[in-house]
Structure 1
Amino acid sequence: MKKSRLFKFMGLLTFVIIFLACSAEDGADGAIGPQGEQGTPGIDGQDGTDGQDGADGEDGNANVIFSNWIDADWNVQDDPRAKSMNLLITEIDNIELRNKTLVFVYLQQWGTSSIYPMPNAGRWSNTWYSFTFGNNGVTLNGITVTLISTNGVDLTDLQYSGSRGNRFRYVLVPESAQSSKLDYSNYEAVKAFYNLMD
């Protein structure tokens, strides 16, 4: 019985020595076992909250064309009760201006911080400032700004003179930059939306 225990002990000792002497790198890799069963799917995470209305990124002004403020210069007609001036547009042709572009002209006058979208009476009750654009005539190339007296009385220099603070600015918005969410009659909103400089 002692011999059989001794043989078992010696066999076990030999096995342990051989096992410890072998390394994983000595033998060839075994075959890959079969794919296990798919686990139970996890629970979906909670949906995130929607962003606030109007929180979209700001639109750029890469395609928007805008002028500096232009002092009134009645270079087409300069009568006591009717005046007009031509603002030459060189950035786009008249066909694109007439057919594919939103055209806005704003009026600024001395003595008020208001900026008026045209057509408009401005700060006076007897005037009407308006504009046309994109015509093919020689004198109507680009944008033509018109001022008329609405009561038959001669206009005063406060109402028409560039040196008295009457000035205009145009903003041209091609199709690619137009936005339905913008109130174009609000100059400050247009200025902010398209990052217009003063």
Structure 2
Amino acid sequence: MAEMGLRERKKRQTYESVSEIAIRLFLEKGFDAVSVAEVAAAAEISKPTLFRYFPAKEDLVLHRIADHEDEAARVVAGSGERPVAALRRHFLEGLEREDPVTGLNDHPQVLAFHRLLYGTPALVARAHGHLERQEAALAEALGGDLDARLAAGQIIAVRRILAMENWRRVSAGERIEELRADAVAAAERGFGMLADGLPWLA
């Protein structure tokens, strides 16, 4: 068991290392200007090995947010609160600690990553699958039926729109200190709308 744990840790380290190297190159030169072969060479692995870890070039970037795919589902499953209340609290706590997922973060590396992600059509298209997997995981946590799927779609949309609005304003130069109150108010409004529209989850 310990050996399996070590292999898993090494595999995870490889994922992280190769993804970070790729993102650095993409930020320096542009996503389309860097080939997979160039990433493999910089990471000192073969191209076939790289593709075993990352089936598509876009996955080298999206790996950084992949662990958030089941975040909403985990919040719901691990809380004794009603689902909308738990997700509201989780999002507000994220704003408080300036979690990049909420969009309320002005660290230069975070802003650069978001510009890469949202400014590259191929990455935007690939990220759609990320959102679908978020919805599917949350829907399963909510019961898995049609009502659960409809609710999950609304919840993920609210979280995404709130985060994108925060990122848009931060990237336009607004200071976190000036934006925080608006971000909290918007989150309260968004989750309030969810509570009104999804009373069976509120």
TM-score, normalization by structure 2: 0.27
Computing the radius of gyration from Cα coordinates, the structure with the larger value is 1
Greater per-residue helix proportion: 2
Query: RCO (CA 8 Å, sep 6+): is it higher in 1 or 2?
Result: 1
- The structure that is strand-richer by fraction is 1
Q: TM-score, normalised by structure 1?
A: 0.28
